[in-house]
Amino acid sequence: MLFTKDIPQDVLFLSEIFESHHHELRLVGGAVRDSLRGESVSDFDLATSATPDEVQKIFKEHKNTLLIPTGLAHGTLTLVLNKTHYEITSYRIDGIYSDSRHPDSVSFTTTLEEDLSRRDFTINAIAVNPLSKEIIDPFLGQEDIAQKIIKTVGDPKKRFEEDALRMLRACRFAAKLEYHIEDMTYDAIKELAPTIQKISQERIRDELLKILDSKTPSIAFDLLHDLGLLAFILPELEEGYGIDQNEFHKFDVYRHNVETCNAMPKKDIMGRLAALLHDIGKPRAKKFALKIGNGNVFYNHEVIGAKMAKSLMKRLKFSNEEIAKTTLLVELHMFYYTSDWNDGAIRRFLRRFDGDISFLNLLFQLRHADREGSGTKKNSPYILKEFQNRIKKILAEDAALKVSDLHINGSQLMSSFSLKPSPIIGLILNYLLELVLDDPNLNNYDQLLEKASLYLKENSKI
């Protein structure tokens, strides 16, 4: 069978160069899979019969290319041509995986089929000759694409014992492609689920982020639960399974979390993560409420959930910035607004995130997704629309929402009152900000200086 999709001119050019040096160059992996599925492709991975040393010799004479040794130990070089990066990996055979993560050794081969045999799933073990457009498919990956099946290349237990992360990848591909996992592959994952604990938290985090980038993340999370993986990688999410809610929710806590995640736009992955985690505090809040006789309620679940989200994100090695953004979304998702809020109250709400418009939009998206994920409510209530309109009006006034927005700073305070650098400067500035939040007209140097003077007189002991 021939490949019917267009192949970039750069790939054809590179193929001709390798052929002229008596080496093969083949398109492999996700680009081939997605092209056969009718999707557009922008990233092309290439495999070659040339060793890394031979690849470097070939391109010494081509001055319009740049070769970067991105993964030389595993035979991978990145070639930059016309400002596009192409990953070129030598055909290889992996040695024993003694740690269920990485091969202990790698040896190079000149046979494409041997290289394809080490890959994870049949749908990823298809290659194309760019020049002849011949499809090389020794493990019948095209049949599995047609049947929408995730199946390992060869013995599934062996594949997952080599690299336990492949179990997560199977669930991720099931969500991304909306395929189902073949029975033997499914059973092997279920048996080997505990071995996922051998995988580094960083690698697990990266797979979770890719799951969140899929059209329907719940497909993957349901599989992770059913296969026994979720309890090892996200036990906080697993806690919500079977925890019933009140009459305003159709689903248990787990299902509500994943449905809210589905409903959240995927353009901001941290927003989607916040949606997945927004109610993880409910099981612990309910347990405490029942213990003290309050019944089936979830008081302070957003505060408990924010702490849990912070802990799990630290465990998964997220950045401090990502943790701060996501946990604040979890903490604030239950914001309660009424029409009797004055403008100062709204400014104090905005102060929690310095009036950041992108964060504010995410917070409202999370609130809408939360309603949709309840299974009982779809439309946004009038009160939320009113709140958004009032926020727009206040933001248009360009009022101070943080200390740096004040028309006076710490240096000016120290100079005016002969103060030395100390915590008192921060206390004064925060006091002044509180005044300005209530009355933006106070935000001018003279009035702020006068208010600071009064504050110092009233707090002379400080």
SS3 76: strand
Average pLDDT over residues 355-366: 93
pLDDT computed for residue 288 by the predictor? 79
Look at residue 247 and tell me whether its pLDDT is greater than 80.
no
- Domain ranges for the chain, please list them: 9-146, 148-233, 250-397, 403-458
For residues 253-276, give the mean pLDDT: 95
The overall average pLDDT reported for the chain is 91
Q: Which residue has the higher pLDDT, 379 or 457?
A: 457
Percentage of residues in the chain with pLDDT exceeding 90? 76
The residue ranges of DSSP E strands in 104-247, in sequence order, are: 106-108, 127-128, 135-136, 149-150, 180-181
Q: What digits encode the pLDDT tens for the residues 185-226?
A: 999 999 999 999 999 999 999 999 999 999 999 999 999 999
Q: Which CATH architecture has domain 148-233?
A: Orthogonal Bundle (1.10)
Topology of the domain covering 9-146? Beta Polymerase; domain 2 (3.30.460)
Q: What is the pLDDT of residue 93?
A: 87
In this structure, of 102-111, 217-226, 427-436, 447-456, the range with the lowest mean pLDDT score is 102-111
- For the ranges 70-74, 99-103, 285-289, which has the lowest average pLDDT? 99-103
d(CA 429, CA 444): 13
Closest CA to 74 of 87, 60, 85, 61: 87
Helix extents (H) in 77-152: 112-117, 141-147
What distance in Å separates the CA atoms of residue 199 and residue 189, rounded to the nearest whole number? 14
Cα 342 from chain centroid (whole Å)? 37
Q: Render pLDDT for 321-335 as a digit per residue (tens, 0 to 9).
A: 999 999 999 999 999
* Identity of the residue numbered 211: I
Q: From CA 377, how far away is CA 249, in angstroms rounded?
A: 9
Using a cut of 0.85, tell me whether the model's pTM lies above it. yes
How high is the pLDDT of residue 244? Answer: 85
Alpha-carbon span 293 to 116, nearest angstrom = 61
Confidence of residue 296 (pLDDT cuts 50, 70, 90): low
pLDDT > 90? residue 71: no
**50-61 pLDDT, tens digit each:** 999 999 999 987
Q: What are the residues whose beta carbons fall under 8 Å from the beta carbon of 120, sequence distance 6 or more?
A: 152, 153, 159, 163, 166, 169, 170
CA dihedral 309, 315, 317, 322 (to 10 degrees): 10
Judged on CB neighbours under 10 Å (0-12, 13-18, 19+), 234 is buried
Mean pLDDT of the region 75-87: 91
Q: How much of the chain, in percent, has pLDDT values that exceed 70?
A: 94
Query: Per-residue pLDDT for 436 more than 90?
Result: yes
State how far the Cα of 91 lies from the Cα of 33, in Å rounded to an integer.
19
CB distance 283 to 294 below 8 Å: no
Is the pLDDT confidence value at 243 over 90?
A: no
Q: How far apart are CA 173 and CA 219, in angstroms?
A: 10
3-state DSSP assignment of residue 135? strand
Measured distance CA(458)–CA(456) in Å, rounded: 5
CATH class of the domain defined by 250-397: mainly alpha
